[in-house]
Amino acid sequence: MNCLLCNGQVDQGLTLSQILSFQALTTDSVCSACRRQFSPLNRVKTCRLCGRKLLAAMPDPCLDCEKWRRGFPYPFASRSLYEYNDAMREFMKRYKFMGDYRLRAVFSPILKAELRTTHRLIVPIPVHESTMATRGFNQVTGLLESLKLCECLATREQQKTGRQSAKNRLTRVLAEQPFKLKPDTQAQITAKPVVLVDDVYTTGTTIRHAAGLLMAAGAASVVGLTLAR
């Protein structure tokens, strides 16, 4: 078999489990040289609220998360599996922006292993309809293929009101809710614990929009999981 990323030979016998000390899986879809370019966050110190790698001088939770704690009305913590480094940026470019759907296999076994034992409802962040039409897939659900998902979120058209008001940045950002609950899905999440899944945690705004919406709709608790941070 050839490596999905570099097309080189995948070294036989070297399984994901050996590299990542997860349970035994099939042969990796990526060669070990490509795999090594990704930087897992499970072996470094990370912010307990947003999952970013903490450098020596940084407090835990990090300053960004302190700000969120003051401005975001619900308890929320998210973690990520990998650093958003050059290799991950390149991966996202090829998977998401160039649209090579096959590349989901680079990380789907890892994300799925991560979620296999969760008791939470797995809610993927949705993509816009127009993206779905041109790209042909949602990059998040691609990574979660064959897991039982609760796809209760949809994107909604952005509303341009309230921008000029004197609200602080955080309230304003949160007011521009990009998501909505799909009709008749509220019952599915009421009193349920939820894990929201996204591909990349950048500023944390997107995933908090979704988390806020789910909490307001009655979810018992919401945590986040992203592939990259």
Which residues in this chain contact another protein in the complex, by CB under 8 A?
Answer: 6-7, 33, 94, 98-102, 132-138, 141-142
d(CA 228, CA 217): 27
Q: Please identify which residue in the block is written with the tokens 């944390």.
A: 204
d(CA 211, CA 165): 24
Q: Is 3 in the site for Zn ion (CB under 5 A)?
A: yes
Q: Is 16 in the site for Zn ion (CB under 5 A)?
A: no
Stretch that binds Zn ion, among 59-67, 92-100, 168-176, 214-222 (CB under 5 A): 59-67
Q: Are 229 and 83 in contact (CB under 8 A)?
A: yes
Q: Is 225 in the site for Zn ion (CB under 5 A)?
A: no
Q: Which is nearer to another protein, 134 or 168 (CB)?
A: 134
d(CA 193, CA 222): 6
d(CA 73, CA 96): 32
* Partner touching 65 among another protein, Zn ion, none, CB below 5 to 8 Å by kind: Zn ion
Q: Are 197 and 123 in contact (CB under 8 A)?
A: yes
* Partner touching 98 among Zn ion, another protein, none, CB below 5 to 8 Å by kind: another protein
Least distance to Zn ion, CB of residue 2, Å: 8
* Partner touching 92 among another protein, Zn ion, none, CB below 5 to 8 Å by kind: none
